[in-house]
Structure 1
Amino acid sequence: MPRTRLTAAACLAALMTAAPALAQDFQSTPVVVEARDAALALPRPQPAIPAPADRPYPGVIQYRADITDLDRRIIRVSQTIPVAGPGPLTLLYPKYLPGNHAATGPIQLLAGLTVTANGQRLEWLRDTLDPYAFHLDVPAGVTAIEVAFEQLTQPDSSNWRVLMTPAMVNLQWEKAILYPAGYYSRQIQVAPSIRLPAGWSYGTALKTEGRDGDVARLETTDLYTLIDSPVFAGAHYRRVDIDPNGAPSESRVHLNLLADEEKGLAATEEQLKLYENMVQQADRLFGARHFDNYEFLFALTDQMGGIGLEHHRSSENTGAPGFFTDWAKSAGDRALLPHEYTHSWNGKFMRPADELTANHNVPTQNTLLWVYEGQTEYWGDVLAARSGLHSKGVALATLASIAAFYDNQPGRQWRALQDTNNHNLLGYRVPGQYPSWMRGTGDYYRESLLVWLDADTLIRAETDGRKSLDDFARAFFGHSAGSWTPQGYTFDQVVAALNAVHPHDWAGFLRDRLDAVGPDARAPLAGIERGGWRLTYTDTPNADEKAVNGGWANDFQYSLGFSLSGDKLANIRWGGPAFEQGIGAGWSLVAVNGKAGSAEVLRDAVTAAKGTDAPLELLIKSGDRFRTVAFDYHDGLRYPRLERIEGTPDWLSDILAPRRR
């Protein structure tokens, strides 16, 4: 059939008179439309999405989740949503997820959406500009609609995090719920229930109203609190009280453990005591609590997707299956729970004002993530040390690793720390190639930690130890004991609170570090030296440094400028020796100085070349191409270490020491 040229009017007429035949013609022979005559799209009228208003939604949404289809990894949801009367109604799927700081709601995994009223199906129309919104018309005489759909969770974490395994499920309400537009989240009431696999238990900050067999009925609460109260459910479960001070009538803190196998739950009394210490040290730091109960949800698994996500009265966390049973190997990972616990104060009770949105489809702004995440990262590491979860050696090794990365990071030549706060909005935690040049999510966590260490040591030095950042934490985050109502903070309020502790040009101090960019910009390492230590490098890491840097044996970042992942050259440092040799991602190590290549062989060769003129030749391969690369490098292996500066005040050791009251 010859190619046909039709006007837009002719195309429309053909569609109206012979749609089935023309559809088949489209599959075999394209129809070309003159661009000057064709409309880009045929507009389809649709209602506007109502803006959220601070008014109560009429009635209570009945929400039912079935998480029993483990083999097919399907979460089935049904909702009964009361309506005030006939007319247009828009349902929203949460788009901006708390703690993600971006539009990450996985609506791509919602399927089978069906809406009925009085037994009759109601057709819905997805908004053509905002695919998270569904429009429908409620007929007269309808008092409630029934909504049903599936959340198709994934079998692996290549695209989306795994939420369902044979032994556990992470039910995150915001990924499996629809709610009416036009209302603040805290003004919509929801009565949730869960159908569990037979014999399973669960942990959540929500109270249980009752359990009928395998159906658990949870307390009626507002949508905001529901979304902030996820569930970890599983076949192997243990709940432990880790609150050393609270009486039964007071707020309590619990550790909810789940595991792939029962043996993973075997935390010892000595290990649990360290978590009691963490709770006690947090009390001494902040001086007040803003929850009635706090539930750590902690899954020891290599099957469910990894997570560390904060909530006001709980947190979602994962660790290795042997986190407790092979305790020594978890040394570098024990700051996760202190970090997420700190978020109950910084990020949940007190949070950046531009993240206090009316509902979960109003865009978030991230201008103060260097406080939200950066200071939380600081206190998480400090609490890990003060509680004993980190030894002092591990704490120093962790700080050395962070300092070395930023001391060797060229990305600040073009991108300021402040701009990395926008990284999630550019692409949720996408590292991309050359992370040392691109900069990203980790920077507003870890580089900001160095900024807060700088502030802490400055206060201590200028007040001769009478004041510290602890005083800021107690005043800024620890006020209004017992209140749960989130409060927003601004840059000016942070500066004012710092000045209340110790007068200084804090606005200039912070902006200098947040906005520094260009060839002369440097990592904010002043806090380490003011704290009585300096960053150095060693060719032989100690046990603590090996525990923190689990990949140390494959790490050549500060020598040749790359690391090895198997035989692949990875994490090529921008401007480093490998980069200057024209090496990028995708090359494999074949040989070193004529010997079959491996991390061990490469370490030996780098060591042998130290202080000599000995050659260091790498044979590398990409596809069917081979290259021999000669490195003029003779400084040996280099791993970061903090070294004490003798004769100076040791403020850093004071910071890491436990508080006695």
Structure 2
Amino acid sequence: MTPTRPRRHRAAAAAAVHYRVQAPRPQNHLFTVRLSVAAPARRQRLSLPVWIPGSYLVREFSQHLQHLRATQAGMPAPLKQVDKHSWVVEADPGQPLELDYEIYALDASVRTAWLDSQRGFFNGTSLCLRVVGQEDQPHALTLDAGDLPASWQVATGLTPQDVDDRGWGRYAAAHYDELVDAPVEMGPFWSGEFTAGGVPHRFVVSGAPASFDGQRLLQDTRRICEEQIRFWHGEQRPPFERYVFMLHATADGYGGLEHRNSTALICQRSDLPRATPKGSKQTPLKATDGYTTLLGLISHEYFHTWNVKRLRPAEFARYDYDRENYTELLWFFEGFTSYYDDLFLRRAGLIDTGTYLQLVGRTANQVLQTPGRQVQSVAQASFDAWVKYYRVGENTPNATVSYYTKGSLVALCLDLTLRLEGDGSLDEVMRELWRRSNGGPIREKDMAIAMRRVGGRSFENELTQWVHGTDDLPVGSLLAAFGAKVDEEQAPLAQQLGLRTTDSGGSIQIKTVLRGGAAEAAGLAAGDEWIGVELTPARRGQTAQAWRLSKLDELNSLIGQASRFVALVARDRRLLRCTVERTAGVTALKLGITDAARLRHWLGD
């Protein structure tokens, strides 16, 4: 735990728009908001965003708004709803306008809002009505502790104006975009601090168990931050005055959302670092460790501080909160960030080369095991994020490809190509883009120009084939040229069969049947319950054997080396027999080390 934060008390600057947020009864999951508009328009329009930047799905936050009332000088003002998320107030421009409303908050994700007796969290896009026409005016947010327990604190990236030692009080924002780009965490959380690049960083964790090793989390996160700041700015200070990590640990959760000087994160409690017994050494991190995954998430969201919150698609020069904001560049902003997140774990010395290559191999296999990679390019996947990436269904792997995973492989291939052909690297391309745009909006042509300047030739062919095409990327050959051992091994059982399943309560549910696989040829379908298997007699006169199947992992022990069996499934309460021919030669990529020195040249040792 860090010492008590000193009380900050500054003269409160005038704000054209002011929000007062309270949680009078956390158990009812309702935030109360009073919005004050100093100088309203005669027909003042108010609107709640339909999406939050960084998560490309229309989420209709207005569904949680209730009891909206408008008053002037203590008297009701005419208020009318004009669409699903907007209202108009007939106001007297010469008097302040006040609006009171409630927001229901019981979504534990990083994208919306949560409130119960243990914790509060919200993004401004979920709570703060936009005063249309005054978005560029100064905004203020007052967080009122009310009767909340004395153990509750506040953490946010907003600029404090008049707050107490627990963080309650008034915060300032230059405009609406800044206000809603700073989530708020409240509750009895753990808090720690460190300095990186000359800038104070705060890390708060809610829901942590007693075994949580906060000091290790701070030390490891600091190493990631210092590496990334040096990557972008050398020995200069980063473009923010403070940074806040807000992590909520749950029984089963994962995710993160980036902001200009903060990030909201979710992880499983089991992924947190645990204190080691006195005198014992920490074991090296493995690719399969939950803590490795958590550090990768931290690295990913922190890299977004530059790559998407400052460097950003030209289409996002100004957010439109009323509708989808389309771009074909998520393969760059999410994919390249996904390439660098684990790479910075290696550069910071948190994982070794072998572990890093395992992480790369896992990403490559995820792409190779997605038939949709041959249907949709990563540029198309970026544009379609609003209707495909966040709307996962049984056919998603067959129809689309992840701009995260394939985008990270595009970055890998470009980086290794630059390094193999000369002294250039993707690192230099990223910094060239930063200089070229002054840390602002970019288009794909800017990427092409930066690649030419760093690589000394045009990379239009690579961008056309790898970004706008659907052919497989030369991952294996490029890694082999850089000292990696590239082998193939037998794919996991589910991949051999061409399906994805879940096991629960002794039942196997088929979630996805992959295009072109054995399961599809056999007639299995998403939604089937796989009950058992039946083996055809090896010789005439023998009796067929049928077995109950409760976990997919039991299949090999039941059928042995048989290449053909009958799957007994239930569909719409009908029992079906589907003959499965196991596909031979379904393999997965396995990476190792052949030339450690060559790999070190790439990985930055």
Q: With structure 2 as the length reference, what TM-score do the two structures score? A: 0.84
Partner residue of 2:117? 166
TM superposition shift of 1:117: 0.8
Partners of 2:456 and 2:439 in 1: CA distance: 27
TM superposition shift of 1:531: 3.5
Partner residue of 2:380? 419
Cα distance change of structure 1 residues 382 and 68 upon mapping to structure 2, 3 Å threshold: farther
Q: How far does the alpha carbon of each residue in 1:444-470 deviate from its partner, in whole angstroms, 9 at most, with x for none? A: 11101111111000010001xx32111
Partner residue of 2:224? 278
Partner residue of 2:78? 123
Q: How far does the alpha carbon of each residue in 1:40-72 deviate from its partner, in whole angstroms, 9 at most, with x for none? A: xxxxxxxxxxxxxxxxxx952121111343211
Q: How far does the alpha carbon of each residue in 1:470-491 deviate from its partner, in whole angstroms, 9 at most, with x for none? A: 12223323789xxxx9611111
Q: How far does the alpha carbon of each residue in 1:612-649 deviate from its partner, in whole angstroms, 9 at most, with x for none? A: x56444322224222233333274885542245x5x79
Q: Is the 8 A contact 1:531 1:650 kept in 2?
A: no
Partner residue of 2:413? 454
Q: Is the 8 A contact 1:568 1:589 kept in 2?
A: yes
Of 627-636 and 431-440, the range deviating more from structure 2? 627-636
Partner residue of 1:591? 532
Of 105-114 and 327-336, the range deviating more from structure 2? 327-336
Partner residue of 1:151? 103
Partners of 1:330 and 1:59 in 2: CA distance: 43
Q: How far does the alpha carbon of each residue in 1:307-359 deviate from its partner, in whole angstroms, 9 at most, with x for none? A: 31011101110111232245844333431010000011110121111111155
Residue identity matched to 1:453: L
Partners of 2:588 and 2:320 in 1: CA distance: 46
Partners of 1:160 and 1:278 in 2: CA distance: 24
**Structure-to-structure mapping, 1:608-619, within 5 angstroms:** 608-609=560-561, 613=562, 615-619=564-568
Partner residue of 1:23? none
Partners of 2:435 and 2:121 in 1: CA distance: 31
Q: Is the 8 A contact 2:273 2:291 kept in 1?
A: no
Structure 2: runs of 5 or more not aligned:
1-13, 275-284, 535-545
Partner residue of 2:248? 299
| 2:296 is the counterpart of 1:364 | no
2:431 to 465, 470, 474: 474
RMSD of Structure 2 on Structure 1 (CA):
3.0
Residue identity matched to 2:119: M
Residue identity matched to 2:255: I
Cα distance change of structure 1 residues 177 and 530 upon mapping to structure 2, 3 Å threshold: same
Q: How far does the alpha carbon of each residue in 1:546-601 deviate from its partner, in whole angstroms, 9 at most, with x for none? A: xxxxxxxxx53421112331111223212111111111111122223423212331
Cα distance change of structure 1 residues 557 and 417 upon mapping to structure 2, 3 Å threshold: farther
TM superposition shift of 1:225: 1.2
Q: Is the 8 A contact 1:407 1:523 kept in 2?
A: no
SS in 2 for 1:574: coil
| 2:258 is the counterpart of 1:321 | no
Partners of 1:586 and 1:286 in 2: CA distance: 48
**Structure-to-structure mapping, 1:180-259, within 5 angstroms:** 180-183=131-134, 185=135, 187-196=136-145, 197-198=148-149, 199-211=151-163, 216-221=168-173, 222-241=175-194, 243-244=195-196, 246=198, 251-259=199-207
Based on CA coordinates, which of the two structures has the bigger radius of gyration?
1
1:398 to 350, 359, 368: 359
TM superposition shift of 1:529: 4.1
Cα distance change of structure 1 residues 218 and 562 upon mapping to structure 2, 3 Å threshold: same
Q: Is the 8 A contact 2:112 2:123 kept in 1?
A: no
Q: Is the 8 A contact 2:220 2:350 kept in 1?
A: yes
Q: Is the 8 A contact 2:123 2:183 kept in 1?
A: yes
SS in 1 for 2:192: strand
Partners of 1:409 and 1:582 in 2: CA distance: 19
Partners of 1:415 and 1:427 in 2: CA distance: 11
| 2:502 is the counterpart of 1:565 | yes
Partner residue of 1:93? 48
Partner residue of 2:468? 515
Partners of 1:642 and 1:565 in 2: CA distance: 28
Partners of 1:584 and 1:528 in 2: CA distance: 37
**Structure-to-structure mapping, 1:435-446, within 5 angstroms:** 435-440=396-401, 443-446=402-405
Cα distance change of structure 1 residues 237 and 649 upon mapping to structure 2, 3 Å threshold: closer
Cα distance change of structure 1 residues 422 and 650 upon mapping to structure 2, 3 Å threshold: farther
Residue identity matched to 2:248: A
Residue identity matched to 1:366: T
SS in 2 for 1:334: helix
Partner residue of 1:46? none
Partners of 1:642 and 1:415 in 2: CA distance: 26
Cα distance change of structure 1 residues 431 and 450 upon mapping to structure 2, 3 Å threshold: same
Cα distance change of structure 1 residues 231 and 603 upon mapping to structure 2, 3 Å threshold: farther
Q: Is the 8 A contact 1:311 1:344 kept in 2?
A: yes
Q: Is the 8 A contact 2:51 2:125 kept in 1?
A: no
SS in 2 for 1:151: strand
2:310 to 349, 353, 358: 349
Partners of 1:488 and 1:213 in 2: CA distance: 38
| 2:446 is the counterpart of 1:493 | yes
Q: Is the 8 A contact 1:83 1:143 kept in 2?
A: yes
2:130 to 160, 179, 189: 179
Q: How far does the alpha carbon of each residue in 1:241-284 deviate from its partner, in whole angstroms, 9 at most, with x for none? A: 2x3552xxxx222322222x5526x2254443222211121122
Partners of 1:107 and 1:524 in 2: CA distance: 46
Partners of 2:362 and 2:389 in 1: CA distance: 24
Partner residue of 2:259? 311
Residue identity matched to 2:392: P
Q: Percent identity?
A: 19
Q: How far does the alpha carbon of each residue in 1:408-461 deviate from its partner, in whole angstroms, 9 at most, with x for none? A: 332244322211112233256011222221215xx2111011111110000100
Partner residue of 1:32? none
